[in-house]
Chains A and B, each alone.
Chain A
Amino acid sequence: MGVKRSHAEMSGRPKKQDAPTASDQPQSPFMPIFETFRAELDEHHARREEIIKASRDITAASKKIIFTLQRTRKLKEPLPQHVTKTNKDHHDIIAERLKNVAKHLQGINSFRYARQISGGCQEWMEAASFQHYLETARLLSYEESRALLEQVSRDEEGRSVVLSPEDYVLGIYDMTGELMRFAITAMATQGLPTIPLEADDPNADAAGAIEVDSSVPVAGQRNVLTDMRLLRSALEGIDAGSGPFAKDAEKKMEVMRTSVEKVEKSLYGLIVRGAERPKGWMPDMDAGGGRAIEVEG
């Protein structure tokens, strides 16, 4: 290919359509190529946006589910009727959104939009594991969670959304925050939630001289805090390697540690000053647990 245009045409003409040429169409010869690209990119962006929207809706609905779940006070018992009823709508929304995007997350595209759907999956995981913990006092395993999400998201053609191990772990990190909120709220009303064990008496004398109510845990008895510590040590044991997941995990690790500590501080306050606390008093979650009671002292 040689030079096709005279210099008069080349200089100072912003629109090439104005420049009639001998051998070329007035348009850029590359237009057909770019038209193909445009179609491909438009398709990609449409899919991407649909997934982002679904992920956002799933996140919102999961947050609402968690909010309702926080109204329970008992561990290892079926959820109260009103909780199940309130959450049904939210579960329906989640299922609907997941089924809608499942088709976009198949084959070559199975990981293409991982970053877009990941937020929703993590929040879903947080809600699912929190609910499972309230009901069974157990941690939902990755395999169970993956199977559950598959079941919830399966569309008519059998396609479903796959939960990644990364989203599972990150969801569990966030779940510790819910355990913290659950534990602290419960402590204010009825004491640290314990896990009903065979014929154990949670009221056994363990707190020493201070006279306390049932809120004080008994050594050896499983309660929310012992479980949180267990979870903390398990999560701390994960080697996230390098990459984006490691970065996310590191951030959430800090928050998770703080959550455990908040419960520890609250429990400390409860034990040290428990007898002095007026009914309905809530440990201050922001300040150090013990210090907040100084209002009373």
Chain B
Amino acid sequence: MAANGDAMIQTGIFEDLQRKIDEDTAVKDALRDIVQSLEKQDRTTQSILSRSHSTATQDLQSVVKAAQTNIDKEIATIQQLSEIASKHPYYKFNYAWTRQMQDACYSVLLCGWLGGFGKGATGQLMTIEDVGSLMKVPVNLKDRDAFHLTIEEYLLALISLLEELARLARNSVTLGDHRRPLQIAQFIKDVHAGFQILNLKNDTLRKRSDGIKYRVKEVEDVVYDLSLRGLLPKD
């Protein structure tokens, strides 16, 4: 090889690079631990909320309450995540938590729809601002680089909510609640109308929002079945 001073690669070039890559790996590792506990907590919340499919409307509040307690734990974890994540450029690592934040957001939306967080009545849509203030994180941040809930995450969570509500519409009938499918049908249609004004590109949001129309139809079918048999509430 050539004399040292005339080498192609100056000493330290690749060592420096490796150090940079390792630093990022360390951040990813630290984030992964938190994100995993968020995922675990959310799984518990989901399993509580899924009891809503087999719980009569009048007993629903106990399910909602239990879910809320667990969501509080998620919020504490999100706080930790926010603290660490905000030390780094948001979009550099956001892939590490975006799915889990979506899931957490979905839990909040479902719990809110079922009457949680002081909403009392069912059928309420929690806005992105509602979700953000509950999670104690900013939403749709533009003026500074810090952890937040993005519009995409919220919208994807909202689609998950619609999917779950379509299922709930059928199961409500099974439980003898003929009123809720009407409420769900209207809600899904209203959200669907909202999605229709968005100019979506060929991305995940587009693909998943394409499915909303089938949810609309599913629930309309339930309502149709009920109306055909004169089972809809008369008021």
Residues in A with CB closer than 8 Å to B195 are 34
Interface string of B2-13 (1 = CB under 8 A from A): 110011111001
- In the bound complex, CA of A143 to CA of B12 (Å): 11
Let me know if A112 is at the binding interface, CB within 8 A: yes
Residues in B with CB closer than 8 Å to A220 are 1-2
Q: Which of B182-230 contact A (CB under 8 A)?
A: 182-183, 185-186, 189-191, 193-195, 197-201, 220, 223-224, 226-227
Let me know if B18 is at the binding interface, CB within 8 A: yes
Question: Which of B17, B191, B193 sits near A27, CB closer than 8 Å?
Answer: B193
Question: Which of A28, A221, A239, A245 sits near B191, CB closer than 8 Å?
Answer: A28
Known pairs A139-B10, A222-B2, A230-B9; A108 contacts B199 (CB<8 A): no
The interface-forming segment of A5-13, A250-258, A273-281 is A5-13
Residues in B with CB closer than 8 Å to A297 are none
- In the bound complex, CA of A154 to CA of B121 (Å): 55
Q: Which of A1-58 contact B (CB under 8 A)?
A: 1-5, 7, 10-12, 16, 27-31, 33-35, 37-38, 40-42, 45, 48
Select from chain B the residue with minimum beta-carbon distance to A107.
B145
Cβ of B194 and Cβ of A28 under 8 Å apart? Answer: yes
Cβ of A10 and Cβ of B10 under 8 Å apart? Answer: no
Count class of interface residues, chain A: 35 or more
Residues in B with CB closer than 8 Å to A203 are none
Q: Would you give the shortest CB distance from B99 to chain A, in whole angstroms?
A: 15
- In the bound complex, CA of A239 to CA of B23 (Å): 12
Chain A CB within 10 A, most for which of B128, B182, B199: B182
- 27 example contacts (A-B, Cβ-Cβ < 8 A) are as follows A1-B123, A3-B233, A5-B182, A7-B223, A10-B232, A16-B189, A16-B193, A34-B198, A37-B155, A41-B199, A108-B90, A108-B145, A109-B91, A110-B89, A110-B91, A110-B145, A111-B90, A112-B91, A114-B91, A137-B6, A195-B2, A221-B2, A222-B1, A222-B8, A241-B21, A241-B24, A241-B28
Closest 8 CB pairs of A and B: A34-B194, A111-B91, A222-B2, A28-B190, A28-B193, A7-B232, A112-B91, A111-B92
